[in-house]
Chains A and B, each alone.
Chain A
Amino acid sequence: MFNKLFKSSKATFEAFNVFYLAFLLGGAFYALNAFHTYMDAYEKVILFGSVGFFSWLGWKWNHFKKSMILVFVISLLSIYLYQGDLANNEQIFLLKYLIASQSAIMWMNVFFVLALLLYWLGLLTKNNLTDNIASTFTFIAVMFGFIGLLVRWYESYLMGLDIGHIPISNLYEVFVLFCLITSLLYLFYEERFNTKKLGAFVLIVINAAVGFILWYTFDRHADGVQPLVPALQSYWMKIHVPANFIGYGSFALAAMVSVAYLFSGKKILSSYLPKLVVLDDLIYKSIAIGFIFFTIATILGAIWAAEAWGGYWTWDPKETWALIVWLNYAAWLHYRIVKGLRGTILAWWALIGLVITTFAFLGVNMFLSGLHSYGEL
């Protein structure tokens, strides 16, 4: 989309980075100034920690930086249009049809579906232009998703000062988060490895999540903002949940690349797809990223549990399944690193890993009961 837009000299690149950092810092200081009475020390650390994280990501990845600026500007526009009155999301055209949170998330869904179709078209026709459009659509979907979440954050405060909270606290919200993180991880690798052919596979799992969001919205009407139960009212949620979803997203990405690997290994589509060694390397890298974030998330979860339930590890089903997921990927990494094993077995294993992860993420909520209080179906 913006590919050619900003690719100029190193100096402008530097200047742009500085601008981006200043932009984020400005936002953070504004938030600090306006809301510091509502934040505890940890939340201030998290605020500036996220400035650090987002500028680091932006510094590494130019497209991300540009999209983030757009996302923030559009979200601010949406907030401005609200004028502090929730009823405006029915009254103001732009909000109602484009950038109120639920509309933005619907647009995200639309663009993900289109991206999936285009990626397959591009794969089967070997048409690079189609690939590029698909990739751009994915980026647009991500931007709509982020706008949706940010605006939702604001909307939740319009519903009541004590109701407002970060939108990662129920299944609807975390499914959006999952879509965003998985696509971002994919888009990052797409650029690094210069291959747009894997989108056809990765977008499948993202569209599965989109399907869930649609079902959850239209059949269960569960897309509304709910106040937080006491156990969830903690700054830990703000880091535990995103870290977990970077883990889930990476594992999902690894599994979908594994599908491509298995197809390619069977000589299906193999002339269309990147070389096996590249796929293999991508599976490893993605699991490695997922593993470290998942480890951190699980540890943060334990620290949080120690604070909320009085024990860092209570063998609650959700915790136990997190451990099982962790053990599974630890075993995978041993195989890969210690034995130097490559190829089909590990690809199958990464795919099974996604099944285990999905069970830990959804199945536990559906079939097992425990302390984890959010995400009942």
Chain B
Amino acid sequence: MSFAVSMLVFLGIASIMGTVLKQNEPYESYIIKLGQFWFVYFENIGLYDVYHSIWFLIILLFLVLSTTLCIIKSTPAILKDFSVFKDSLEEKSLLSFTHHFVIKNKKDVSTSKVLQYLKQSKYKIKDKLKENGDFLIVAKKGDYQPIGYILTHIGVVIICIGGLLDGNLIFKAQELLGYKKIETLDIPASKVPEVSRLNVSNTSFRANMTLAEGSSDKVAYVREKDGYLVQELPFKITLKDFRIYHYSTGMPKSFESDIVISDPDLPQDITKTISVNHPFTYKGIAIYQSDFQDGGTKLNIKLQHLFNSNSTRNIDGRIFDKVKLDKDQITYEFNDFRKFNILNLKKGEKEKPRNVGPSVTYKVRNSSGQAREYLSYQYAMPIEGRSFFISGMRETPQEEFKYLKIPADAKGSIDEFMLFKDALQNKILIESVAKKMANQSASGADKNSNVQESFETSVNKLMTLFAQGGFSNIAQNIDKNIPASEKEKAVQTYLKIIDIASSEIYKAKLNVADKDLNETRILFIQDALNAYSDLFFYGVPYYFDLISYEQKEASGLQLTKSPGQFWVYLGSLSLVLGIFSMIYLHERKLWLLIKAKGGVIVALSSNRQNIDFENDFKKLIQEIKKIIQ
């Protein structure tokens, strides 16, 4: 395989490596994925940032070097060939061309007709009367084709050099020599020591900054390996406002930031709006809209106690802040707020995703430091024709959320469930319902007070068990106390009793008459019982009810300084022109010797042997013969 080809293939394979393993992830995720042993090994050979690793750079340098050598080697010959017409060829050498033909003994050839034909065929022409009276026409066309070779390869070299300019070579060298060090601690920018700072004169960087609405900053962060560097900026950026526009479907349509640039060099601040695809460049630094996050939204939350309604309370929180509940020894940590959530509620069907309103993600940490993560939505959302308040919980970030689904009442609020759940826990109410049920069951045939009493006791016991632990508590009880052969039947009976008892409790608590216990309410009771059972696995004794919020957003900006960009574009232009001329221009050299003694010799050559050349040659024979004979 030729050298150029092997280099291209080698570079290709090297590039594939970086797409197999996801690049520039946080180091912890590599440790999880690869295990500690392989993690270290892979880090040493730079597999987490292949395209900036030493060995990849060496391949690129090698490519640049050899291509440069190739250009240097071939250019003089190409340029010489471009500028001269080879008019020193003799008859003998023309006859040695693979593509030549001879018209014998023809005299009085009209040179002007031949010249005219060649001109028409877009040849550049030079003619010469030789000392022996022979007339030699030298013609060529497509002679920019070999120049294309130079343009192409120079283009490649310029692109690579431009790319290297924008790479982090200087930092790499400084890091190697110990002048610079990556900061890995999560500390404020002002505390980051000098070794991890890049000053204003840095010629090329790609950095990020996050600004909350109303705040400003003079530094940005460059991510490197498992840490970052602080890049100082020659101006201050303030975020005045950040906006998201939505399509009618709820999908985001545009992200926009109003920024103000303050620079001591300027008499006046610059105010600009940037958005995706519309960056703003100042002092060689391009400022892009890259992403967004919460900037510290204020929240007002009603924490509804799930087992003791007297403990229900309101708290004020703020994203990125914490609230400690001393009584429960737990801490709420608010992580993120989203005003819009576009969800596809009917999976698999041809249903448009819809906006289900605001949500908050937060962690609840107990006194021993363990935390569960929660996701709560403000409003109920429709699922299978009914309406539920959804709240997700997971113990570790790797897990999927498990959802608590609390049915909403006819008014779309959670109040009815809360009342119902209080009633389920109300001993007095349970007792009275048990009594009522016992009375009803006995009101028929025989009045056996013993049976009636024991029925009342079991209803009472069953509902107390349910109140204390939901369905799973009852299941445990059955497992413990009832022989396997009768389990099936017991389950049936118990479920039926719970059904009836809870309807009674529901009616009593909410003052619903028998005739008003319709289908919707029955379904509500079912859903509520299920939700109630799930409360015992929810991990925190409060339901998170977002009452109101005051949104504050933060915009993620990317700042880049890339002096190599111009060179990359210039190189690309050269590359395109070069490839175009190399592929689409057909280089032809033609000699036509009209001998004084009579007879004509025509020779045609090209640097490519292919069908087009053969066809051109055939056509040439035809046409010249037509003209001359």
Contact = CB atoms under 8 A, between A and B. Distances in A.
Partners in one complex: yes
Interface of A: 160, 162-163, 221, 226-227, 229-231, 233-234, 277-278, 281, 284, 288, 291-292, 295-296, 299, 302-303, 306-313, 315, 317, 320-321, 323-324, 327-328, 330-331, 334-335, 337-340, 364, 368-369
A232 to B, nearest CB: 9
B51 to A, nearest CB: 5
A234 B248 CA distance: 20
B569 A303 contact: yes
Nearest to B565: A312
A314 to B, nearest CB: 9
A337 B579 contact: no
Sorted from nearest, which 7 A-B pairs have the closest CB atoms? A310-B288, A230-B276, A331-B8, A310-B558, A327-B12, A299-B572, A317-B19
Interface in B393-412: none
Contact of A234 (B253, B277, B608): B277
A265 B626 CA distance: 39
B58 interface: no
A231 B248 contact: no
B84 interface: no
Contacts of B275: 230
A317 B15 CA distance: 9
Contacts of A311: 206, 560, 562
6 contacts: A230-B275, A230-B276, A292-B579, A317-B19, A320-B15, A324-B16
B252 A299 contact: no
Given A281-B611, A292-B580, A321-B19, A327 B279 contact: no
A159 B610 CA distance: 53
A49 to B, nearest CB: 16
A162 B248 CA distance: 9
B8 A334 contact: yes
Given A233-B254, A234-B277, A311-B562, A327 B8 contact: yes
Interface string B241-270: 000000111011111000000000000000
Given A163-B247, A233-B277, A330-B8, A324 B15 contact: yes
B609 interface: yes
Nearest to B51: A315
Contacts of A230: 252-255, 275-277
Nearest to B579: A292
Contacts of A338: 2, 4
Contacts of B584: 288, 292
A163 B247 CA distance: 8
A292 B583 contact: yes
Interface in B319-333: none
Nearest to B255: A230
Interface in B160-176: 163
Nearest to B278: A307
A40 to B, nearest CB: 11
Nearest to B612: A281
Given A160-B247, A231-B276, A334 B2 contact: yes
Contact of B609 (A291, A303, A340): A340
A313 B254 contact: no
Contacts of A368: 19, 22
| Most interface-central of B247, B277, B286, B558 (chain A CB within 10 A) | B277
A295 B276 contact: no
Contact of A309 (B23, B51, B288): B288
Given A234-B277, A303-B569, A308-B277, 19 more contacts: A160-B248, A221-B350, A226-B251, A227-B247, A230-B254, A233-B276, A288-B583, A288-B584, A291-B583, A295-B579, A307-B277, A307-B278, A307-B279, A321-B19, A328-B8, A334-B2, A335-B2, A335-B5, A337-B608
Given A160-B248, A310-B286, A324-B16, A369 B276 contact: no
B277 to A, nearest CB: 5
Contacts of A302: 568, 572
| Most interface-central of A160, A234, A292 (chain B CB within 10 A) | A292
B568 A296 contact: no
Nearest to B244: A230
Nearest to B290: A310
Interface in B14-64: 15-16, 18-19, 22-23, 50-51
B247 A292 contact: no
Given A284-B610, A307-B277, A310-B288, A334 B5 contact: yes
Given A303-B569, A310-B290, A311-B562, A162 B12 contact: no
Contact of A327 (B11, B22, B288, B290): B11
A292 B148 CA distance: 13
A222 to B, nearest CB: 10
A229 B565 CA distance: 26
A310 B560 contact: yes
| Most interface-central of A226, A302, A327, A369 (chain B CB within 10 A) | A327
A309 B556 CA distance: 12
Contact size range, B: 35 or more
A364 B15 CA distance: 14
A277 B569 contact: no
B279 A339 contact: no
A334 B50 CA distance: 27
Contacts of A323: 12, 15
A242 to B, nearest CB: 16
Contact of B22 (A306, A310, A369): A369
B576 A296 contact: yes
Nearest to B10: A327
B565 A295 contact: no
Contacts of B445: none
B187 interface: no
Interface string B567-586: 01100100110011011100
A164 B569 CA distance: 32
A328 B5 CA distance: 9
Contacts of A369: 22
Contacts of A327: 8-9, 11-12, 15
A352 to B, nearest CB: 12
Contacts of A281: 610-612
Nearest to B614: A277
A374 to B, nearest CB: 13
Contacts of B572: 299, 302
B4 A291 contact: no
Interface in B267-318: 275-279, 286, 288, 290
Contacts of A303: 569
A292 B276 contact: no
A165 to B, nearest CB: 11
Contacts of A320: 15-16, 18-19
Nearest to A330: B8
A163 B163 CA distance: 37
A324 B11 CA distance: 8
Nearest to A227: B247
Contacts of A315: 18, 23, 50-51
A231 B288 CA distance: 12
A59 B257 CA distance: 48
Contacts of B252: 229-230
A295 B575 contact: yes
A234 B278 CA distance: 9
A221 B350 CA distance: 7
Given A292-B576, A320-B18, A334-B2, A310 B279 contact: yes
Contacts of B580: 292
A321 B562 CA distance: 23
Nearest to A328: B12
Contacts of A233: 254, 276-277
| Most interface-central of A230, A231, A306, A327 (chain B CB within 10 A) | A230
A163 B251 CA distance: 11
Nearest to A306: B565
Contacts of A308: 276-277
Contacts of B251: 226-227, 229
Given A310-B206, A340-B609, A324 B4 contact: no
